[in-house]
């Protein structure tokens, strides 16, 4: 299995929930990392994206930060994820 994109989320975040639901509906596999209460994961996300807002996705070094489904769709297409 190839390396999956990493999706950083926060618990209780409506944008995160929307993105997770969208990915589930499209059967798109990602590695989900919950940064809530996880200092190391939060720091990893900040180091990657330069900010602390979720959701943030890392697809093989290409980072999409603080996004909704509208921004996610073209990002997935650009990276051949479907």
Q: What are the tens digits of pLDDT across the range 5-63?
A: 999 999 999 999 999 999 999 999 999 999 999 999 999 999 999 999 999 999 989 99
Q: How confident is the model at residue 2 (pLDDT cuts 50, 70, 90)?
A: low
DSSP structure string for 65-82: ES--HHHHHHHHHHTT--
What pairs with residue 58 in β-bridges? 6, 63
Secondary structure in 3-state letters for 1-18: CCCCCEEEECCCCHHHHH
Quote the distance between the C-alpha of residue 2 and its chain's center: 17
CATH of domain 6-78: 3.40.30.10
């Amino acid at each position: 299995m190839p390396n999956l994109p990493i999706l950083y989320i926060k618990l209780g975040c409506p944008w995160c929930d929307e993105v997770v639901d969208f990915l589930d509906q499209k059967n798109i596999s990602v590695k989900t990392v919950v940064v809530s209460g996880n200092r190391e994961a939060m720091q990893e996300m900040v180091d990657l994206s330069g900010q602390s807002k979720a959701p943030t996705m890392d697809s093989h070094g290409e980072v999409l930060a603080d996004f909704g489904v509208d921004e996610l769709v073209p990002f997935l297409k650009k990276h051949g994820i479907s």
